[in-house]
Amino acid sequence: MAYIKIGSNLTLEVPSNPTIGYIEGDGIGPDISKTSISVINASLEFAYGGDRSIEWEKVLAGEEALSKTGKHLPQESLDQLKKCVVSIKGPLTTPIGQGFRSLNVTLRQYFDLYANIRPVKYFPGVPSPVKNPEKMNMVIFRENTEDLYMGIEFKYDSPEASKMREFLASNMDVKLTDDTGIGIKPISKFKSSRLVRKAIQYAIKNKRRNVTLVHKGNIMKYTEGAFKEWGYQVAANEFKDNTVTEEEYLKDPDNYRGKIVLKDRIADNMFQQVLTRTEDYDVIATTNLNGDYLSDALSAQVGGLGLAPGGNVGDAYAIFEAVHGTAPKYAGMDVANPTSLILSGVMMLRHLEWDNAADVLENAIIATYHDQKVTQDLARVMNIKPLKCSEFGQEIIKRMKPVKK
């Protein structure tokens, strides 16, 4: 795959047989990766009859990479992912004391995958802790490369923390006790703007109703508050013909029908809004830490992280991923739920603009859940017989049907 320039934009040129990198992941990763690849391949065969297919290239990362190369993320693997352009990965264990905090964060920062995209919607038949899970249909765009996830912090008794406390006391009249650890929360105009831009572009392309900027600007005015202001500026400067502010819309709704409504909500208020007024929200754009909390909370409303897909997307590269953990106690047992990774595969197919295959696969997953064919994580809640991970994949393949256009 490669990008070609059309005007001022880069467009991904996808051949009929692209090479896609895949990282199996740790723990349950190999089980769910094997099943996911099999159902993605089946959806391509069903949708295109052999005219399109994927050449899968295994990329080492995590515990397998450590055992074979001595590194959790060798440079050769980064080079492979770069060559592939688009990749998909299972869950990875975060190594302790290896010079970086998270393999996932390292990948996002190395490839500048600044948008973490998490679509969340309900599948009929899935147990949910809320009364009306069917109202959930949101897509979160979470900034992926700055905020507290940059990991700029200093332990309370470190020389760096001492220097920071001295500097703040001497130059900023900020006095902290000697047992205070310090973290820095950088939020920039450039990175905030491009995240909101991508969210609005998604909303326009997919005919969504509104985009909500979620922030804590009432307290952190020059970081979270600035994120909100920069978001409104992007909409006003670049998408004036497609968007309208909530304030303008409420004054004269009939005059703005068909436009995307841009609004903002304080983060803590948003947590109760997504429960009490779920249907009012569509696309969410937010900062890193807010997005981390909020995306998991939304996933819980529709059945948990086992059903939550995710994609890390930049202007050049994309890595789609299962968003749950490695669950090592179930490793190699063929019992894990592969839905998160399979749905991430659906996202990947849409990124390639292979929408027929994506529709075939997504509809088959919905039908499988509707028929209450589930793995052990949900079967124990529903008090029914569980399917193995591989069996669940076969049930999805059985339910693939032509998509009516």
Q: How many CB atoms lie within 10 A of CB 403?
A: 15
How far is the C-alpha of 43 from the C-alpha of 356, rounded, in Å? 9
236 known member of a binding site: no
Dist CA 124 CA 295 (whole Å): 20
The answer to whether the CB of 104 falls within 8 A of the CB of 26 is no
Q: 368 with 43: CB under 8 angstroms?
A: no
Pick the catalytic residue: 31, 147, 264, 292?
292
Handedness of CA 344, 346, 349, 350 (dihedral sign): negative
- Check 112, 268, 280, 355 and give the catalytic one: 268
Does the active-site annotation cover 377? Answer: no
Residue 258 assigned as binding residue: no
Known binder of ligand: residue 194? no
286 annotated as belonging to a binding site for a ligand: no
Residue 323 sits at φ, ψ, to 5 deg, of -95, -5
Catalytic choice (89, 191, 216, 228) = 216
Q: Which of these is catalytic: 22, 114, 122, 149?
A: 149
Q: Is 399 annotated as a binding residue?
A: no
101 is in an annotated binding site: no
Q: Is 254 a catalytic residue?
A: no
Is 329 assigned to a binding site? Answer: yes
Distance CA 127, CA 129 (A): 7
Cα torsion through 187, 189, 191, 192, rounded to 10: 80
Instruction: Confirm or deny that 337 is annotated as ligand binding.
Output: yes
* Sign of the torsion formed by the C-alpha atoms of 140, 141, 142 and 144: positive
Q: Is 380 within any annotated ligand binding site?
A: yes
Annotated ligand binding at 215? The verdict is no
Catalytic, 256? Answer no
292 is catalytic: yes
218 is in an annotated binding site: no
- Binding residue numbers for NADP(+): 93, 324-330, 337, 380
- Binding residue numbers for Mg(2+): 292
Active site amino acids: 149, 216, 268, 292
- Binding residue numbers: 93, 102, 104, 108, 118, 142, 292, 324-330, 337, 380
- Binding residue numbers for D-threo-isocitrate: 102, 104, 108, 118, 142
